[in-house]
Chain A
Amino acid sequence: MKHFLTKALLVGALLASTASFSFADDKVVLTMWHGHPEWKGAVDKIIAKYEEENPNVEIQLEEIPGQDLTARLNTALAAGEAPDLFALQLGPTVGAAGAAGQILDLTGKVDISGLTQAAQDASNYQGHVWSVPTFGSYTVGLYYQNKIFADNGIKPPTNETEFMAVCKALQAKGVTPMIAPAQDGIIPAFLYMMMASSVLKADGFADLRTGKRKLTDPDVVKAAQYLQDIYPCFEDGSLGTAYVEGKALFSLGRGAMLEGGSADYAGFVQTNPKIDVGVVPFPAVDGGMPATVTGMQDTFSVNSKTAHPAEAIKFIQWLIGKEAAQMVVDSITLSNTVGIAPSNNPVMSQMITASKSNDVRVWYEFPETGDVFAAVQQNAQALFLKQMTPEEFSAKLQAAVKPSAAK
């Protein structure tokens, strides 16, 4: 009896391993790295939808905090161990990976004609489609707490003077005017982009890239002065506050305003499902136009060493299709797919409205201004602490601009 049971167990194990091996043979597994752990629930649903429609495909998603993604991804690429699908920074990074043969050239393989013109332009680097903005785009403006503003009889500011007045009024009532987690310099960099864009506007930004305009021009230096002036409106310890903590503080109503993107809203709701916020363009330098900046969210590339290139490309094509784009805009951020609007997300609708006045592409997506973001990150705190003048700050940023020839 004992021998019979032993043999039966062995045969059963052999059959099970054979069955699982043959099952694994049929199923295509795609690995995917993404840099927004706070969206995992929403992205899992999108992936589940695709898997439901494509039962022979399994997508293994790994969410990595954005701060750590570059380190892991660059190391994995160099080691030849990158996942099948991953997002690289637009611009020289994508170009370098493409030139090195680390990512597939998707030109002609992915149909991007259904995307907005900005998204199509972003997909094209030096004549090649190396990556596609799959999870939409994000627009950055100014979030404000509806209740705090209503309780204090305040309207969202449209320029610097109004902003400082709102700041003083709220501080007098013991309310933190603005949450600005500045530890890693990201928020100050976005603040500066919007402040400078309120002066330059889209045309002026194009001139900046060709060298016709400079960040040291007197009217643009006002943006640096503005950035320095609003520091006292930030929460206590803002220079030591991490980005994640800052978002949580705002979600919980610990500050009246936060500079944030459409992609942040999903995280706010996750922390506080009852959050009630509005969105406006960021208040302009006096005399300028309130601005938003828009960037491509997660431009995905396909690993050239993937064992399943056709399946990976098919998944990317699906992600920029109407079905996935609608899921993205309803749960995560704005969409790049033409004709897709939020179906039940009033905050995203407000963000779209905010972006219609004066929207500029995020500066780090262009080779001419790609380094300016890092320059702001590394010098903003000196500006806040008044260890650097606005003129010196502007000069450092201008030194990071690499103008290209005018087209």
Chain B
Amino acid sequence: MVDQLASVNRAPLAQSGSDVPRRPLAARRRGKTARKYAHLWFVLPGLLFFCLFMIYPAISGFAISLTAWTGVGNDFHFIGLQNFVTALTSWPLYRAAWHNLIMFVAILIFQHTVGLFIAVQLNAKPRFMEVYRTILFLPVIISLVSTGFIWTLMLSPNIGVINPLLQSMGLGFLAHSWLSDPHLALPTVIAVQCWNVLGWAIIIYLAGLQSIPEELVQAAEMDGANGWQRFWRVVFPLLSPSFTSLTVLTFIGQFRVFDIVYVLTGPIGSPNFETDVLGTLIYRSAFGGSSMSSNDVRMSYAIAIALIVFVAMAVVSTILIRVLRRREIDA
């Protein structure tokens, strides 16, 4: 009997009208269910990891943001949504977000112009192309903290090399206190970031360019299209996936930025908050501007700001992806 059942279970699914014995219905249903959801077993470890290190901290953070916890001690008395109301009605939040927006737009334009231009040149496979690509990607590999320290030293009007270099080239009128001048500090931070992220734009666009079938470009050439027309009417539309990826990554990166700004201009976004971004605002609220101002920390308030930023970024990212996906063309 057991052998008969075993042989029935091992039998293939029967087709209607055939002589092959069919497995019992319950066994067939279990098998079908198991096959349908088998992939979940492979997803489970990652899902557990995601829940433990992303979902659980987010829920805990939200719970803490409803209290008046400073970050030290165990005074968690409930204050409801007061932290969120305070954050949404405070000028520093919007000022910081505005700076993030400026940085995003400026760096995005830079990446989609300079980055694309260089990628197109490299795609033509000039001599020493691999060397150029490596050199251009090097700033991406350097940590943001190291980048900030290097540029802080180079830009210093007292011990830096930028101003003496400009003076030696007869461009002394361009020498400035780059990180102290309220009009120049933010553009300087943007310039440093452009230097750091250019390599990403080149690599992403280069990958996109190399996936475009050459026949399409050749066909356009045979039809009489000049260089600019071939690029604008054929190549650029096919780079839409790269455009989307770069735009969304830049948006997330620029609204999350913290370390490079902190190193370049300090915890209070010097001078006079002209370079204050959401990251430094959150850090300052959570830990104070220095060890001597640690009595002024408000960890729960900082978490509220972080959650507001998270939700806003999630909404905007979703809209960005949907809008940009519509213009993508399958090659």
Interface residues of A in 170-222 (CB under 8 A from B): 182-186, 189
B291 touches A67 (CB 8 A): yes
B268 touches A78 (CB 8 A): no
Instruction: Return the contact of B156 from the options A91, A100, A237 (Cβ within 8 A).
Output: A237
A364 and B295 in contact, given A99-B73, A240-B265, A240-B271 (Cβ under 8 angstroms): yes
Contacting residues, chain B, for A373 (C-beta < 8 A)? 292-293, 296
Contacting residues, chain B, for A362 (C-beta < 8 A)? 292
Tell me the bound Cα distance from A95 to B70 in angstroms.
12
Q: B305: CB under 8 A from chain A?
A: no
A93 touches B291 (CB 8 A): no
Q: How far is the CB of A72 from chain B (nearest CB, A)?
A: 9
Q: B215: CB under 8 A from chain A?
A: no
Interface residues of A in 226-276 (CB under 8 A from B): 235-242, 245, 249, 254
Q: B72: CB under 8 A from chain A?
A: yes
A236 touches B177 (CB 8 A): yes
Contacting residues, chain A, for B156 (C-beta < 8 A)? 237, 240-241, 245
B292 touches A364 (CB 8 A): yes
A185 touches B295 (CB 8 A): no
B180 touches A241 (CB 8 A): yes
A237 and B177 in contact, given A184-B266, A245-B156, A381-B272 (Cβ under 8 angstroms): yes
Q: A346: CB under 8 A from chain B?
A: no
Contact with A along B156-192 (1 / 0, CB 8 A): 1111000000000000000001111010010000000
Tell me the bound Cα distance from A102 to B294 in angstroms.
17
Contact with A along B288-306 (1 / 0, CB 8 A): 1111111111010000000
B283 touches A236 (CB 8 A): no
Residue on B nearest A179 in the bound complex, by CB: B158
Q: B237: CB under 8 A from chain A?
A: no
B71 touches A385 (CB 8 A): no
Tell me the bound Cα distance from A70 to B73 in angstroms.
14
A374 and B288 in contact, given A97-B73, A249-B158 (Cβ under 8 angstroms): yes
Tell me the bound Cα distance from A70 to B74 in angstroms.
17
Q: B9: CB under 8 A from chain A?
A: no
Q: How far is the CB of B223 from chain A (nearest CB, A)?
A: 56
Interface size counted on chain A using CB atoms at 8 A? 51
Instruction: Classify the interface of chain A: helix, strand, loop or mixed.
Output: helix
Query: In the complex, how many residue pairs between chain A and chain B have their CB atoms under 8 Å apart?
Result: 146
Residue on B nearest A186 in the bound complex, by CB: B290
Tell me the bound Cα distance from A170 to B290 in angstroms.
32
Q: How far is the CB of B61 from chain A (nearest CB, A)?
A: 12
B297 touches A240 (CB 8 A): no
Q: A92: CB under 8 A from chain B?
A: yes
B272 touches A240 (CB 8 A): no
Instruction: Classify the interface of chain B: helix, strand, loop or mixed.
Output: loop
Instruction: Return the contact of A70 from the options B178, B179, B297 (Cβ within 8 A).
Output: B297
Contacting residues, chain A, for B296 (C-beta < 8 A)? 370-371, 373-374
B291 touches A238 (CB 8 A): no
A93 touches B72 (CB 8 A): yes
A239 touches B271 (CB 8 A): yes
Q: B267: CB under 8 A from chain A?
A: yes
Contacting residues, chain B, for A317 (C-beta < 8 A)? none
Q: B152: CB under 8 A from chain A?
A: yes
Contacting residues, chain A, for B73 (C-beta < 8 A)? 95-97, 99-100, 102
Residue on B nearest A377 in the bound complex, by CB: B289
Q: B287: CB under 8 A from chain A?
A: yes
B294 touches A183 (CB 8 A): no
Contacting residues, chain A, for B289 (C-beta < 8 A)? 184-185, 374, 377-378
Q: B75: CB under 8 A from chain A?
A: yes
Q: How far is the CB of B197 from chain A (nearest CB, A)?
A: 22
A371 and B290 in contact, given A74-B72, A245-B159, A382-B272 (Cβ under 8 angstroms): no
Q: A35: CB under 8 A from chain B?
A: yes
Q: How far is the CB of A125 from chain B (nearest CB, A)?
A: 12
Q: A41: CB under 8 A from chain B?
A: no
Q: How far is the CB of B155 from chain A (nearest CB, A)?
A: 8
Tell me the bound Cα distance from A74 to B70 in angstroms.
10
Contact with B along A49-92 (1 / 0, CB 8 A): 00000000000000000110111001001100000000011011
Contacting residues, chain A, for B202 (C-beta < 8 A)? none
Contacting residues, chain B, for A189 (C-beta < 8 A)? 292
Q: B239: CB under 8 A from chain A?
A: no
Instruction: Return the contact of A239 from the options B72, B74, B180, B292 (Cβ within 8 A).
Output: B180
Contacting residues, chain A, for B177 (C-beta < 8 A)? 236-237, 239-240
Please, could you name 10 A-B residue pairs with CB atoms under 8 Å apart, sorted by A? A35-B291, A67-B291, A74-B71, A74-B299, A96-B70, A102-B73, A184-B290, A237-B158, A373-B292, A381-B273
**Which 10 A-B pairs have CB atoms at the shortest separation, nearest pair first?**
A96-B73, A240-B179, A237-B177, A374-B293, A240-B180, A239-B271, A381-B272, A100-B74, A100-B73, A374-B296
B binding-site residues for A, Cβ under 8 Å: 70-75, 152, 155-159, 177-180, 182, 185, 265-268, 270-273, 283, 286-297, 299
A binding-site residues for B, Cβ under 8 Å: 35, 66-67, 69-71, 74, 77-78, 88-89, 91-93, 95-97, 99-102, 182-186, 189, 235-242, 245, 249, 254, 362, 364, 367, 370-371, 373-374, 377-378, 381-382, 385, 387
